[in-house]
Amino acid sequence: MAPDRKTLIGKVFEPVTYTIREEDIRDYLPVAGEDDRAFHSEAESRAAGYGGWVIPPSFGPYVAVISMLRSFDWQKDFFMDYKKDTAMFGEQELEYQRPLYVGETLTVQGRVSDVYEKQGKRAFDVIWVSFAARDESGATAFSGAQSYLVFK
């Protein structure tokens, strides 16, 4: 019998930290095709009016996914049986409250906000996880939600 994942609604995950590293941004820029000069150095970011080395907004979803994947255990937290279940990433939405900068450390924490079943070739649960990323002062840098599909 499949587990009742609706009981997960409201579950809060442990916070995890993510430091935006210069090396990560340097590796990311050519792959993402981000050519705005402000993303390439602190000097160019400051020349464009930013308070530090700003990162491309398209890097934020990576921070969110990596942070959430580090915060939970599929088997323990989502009742996923590795012998028979399959999981995959669904949708993601992000809302920025401010730009993100190289060198800053964000604390990202999520909670299960919704769970519902869908039917395709196989039945699966859609698990929505809402999250917020806070900077070192506690201010929200971005927030959002992402879904995971766990097949039964």
pLDDT of 101-149, one tens digit each? Answer: 999 999 999 999 999 999 989 899 999 999 999 999 999 999 999 999 9
Q: What is the pTM of this model?
A: 0.90
Measured between alpha carbons, how far is 22 from 56 in angstroms, rounded to an integer?
A: 12
Amino acid 19 reads: T
Q: What is the mean pLDDT of the chain?
A: 95
Q: Is 19 exposed, middle or buried (0-12, 13-18, 19+ CB in 10 A)?
A: exposed
Single-letter amino acid code for the residue at 17: T
Domains of the chain with CATH codes: 5-151 (3.10.129.10)
Q: Is 54 helix (H, G, I), strand (E, B) or coil?
A: strand
Q: Is a pLDDT exceeding 90 seen at residue 8?
A: yes
- State residue 82's pLDDT score: 78
Q: What is the pLDDT of residues 11-35, one digit of tens each?
A: 999 999 999 999 999 999 999 998 8
Q: Is the pLDDT of residue 2 over 80?
A: no
Count of other CB atoms within 10 angstroms of residue 133: 26
| Tokens linked to 68 | 């959430």
